[in-house]
Structure 1
Amino acid sequence: RSREQLDELRAAHRRTRDKREADRIKAVVALAI
């Protein structure tokens, strides 16, 4: 994954109000690192 994709995921994580969705995004970011 590229840095841009990770930045976009982090932005999406900040925008989302759905806890489950936020956790899913967090998991994707964690796996990407």
Structure 2
Amino acid sequence: MIELMWFLSTLKALFFPSDHLSMLFHMYHIQA
């Protein structure tokens, strides 16, 4: 599940780099 989310966010980063940063921050916040 997590790997799939990471893959999708990475793929998405190719088109939306700024959105990818917010996604990483959001996922980090969930795990924290």
- Give the drift of 1:10: 1.4
Using the size of structure 2 for normalisation, the TM-score is 0.56
- Give % identity: 0
RMSD: 1.4
Q: Structure 2: which 5+ runs fail to align?
A: none
1:11 match: 7
> How many residues end up aligned between the 2 structures?
28
Using the size of structure 1 for normalisation, the TM-score is 0.55
